[in-house]
Chain A
Amino acid sequence: MDWTRRSLLTTGAALLIAGPALALTEAQASGMVGNLVNEINRVIASGKSERAMYGDFERIFKKYADTRAIAAYAMGVDGRRATNAQKKAFTDAFTGYISRKYGKRFREFIGGRLEVQGVSRNRNFYDVSTIAYLKGEAPFEVNFHVSDNNKFYNMYIEGVNMLLTERTEIGAMLDRRRGDIDALIADLRSAS
């Protein structure tokens, strides 16, 4: 980030105009994704074992993602009949499951890297776009949607939306277990 006096002034002015409704700035949102991307790149380049990488991804995921919002969205309408204890347990189990699942995919990024391109403000979130450079592949877009708490709550890999994908999957898992939320939680803990 190049902190020229002008960019500081514009950021300051933007803050003044936007007022308290905009608690987060574009610079903060893209800065957060920048840190996230750096940590992911470091893990990808570390050459660690798959299992060790999952641990790293889970730590990164907990640090940068709004795990409560992601879990709540993934559970969808079934969340209405869940007890608070079930919701908490679900968030916890789901966080581990998603780190392993996406950790596996990021492993395919070995030899590649993510780069932050830019950020744009939408009504209630920032859209931070990054480009993934992989060996032998056309570069492709990975977007992070960041809410006002400066954590990302959704990710788009070439247009594929993590929240929608996970809601579909969790819904299908629940159907298979005849709507049994406790069975779902138990299986998420062991699912790879």
Chain B
Amino acid sequence: MTPREKVKQEMEAFRAALPGLLLDHGDQWVVFIDGKVVGFYVDEESAYTAAMRAFGPRAGFVVAQVAREKPEPISARVLFGIAP
């Protein structure tokens, strides 16, 4: 499995864990790897730096905020149905 594929897999696991995490850790940042949270952080930079130090750049960890996901339009034009 490539690191990219691993991130994809970890992302799915993170999404599955998200409802539970939202109960106590809303808005916090997490490092998520091997199907579990390995650290909570107050901001993304702290989470990313800690993950890089602990696991290295190709480990396939996820750094994400404990928050409900909302699809993001590439550009406002998309909202109007105009090709970007």
State yes or no: do A and B come from one complex: no
Taking beta carbons and an 8 Å cutoff, which residues of A are in contact with B? none
Interface residues of B (CB under 8 A from A): none
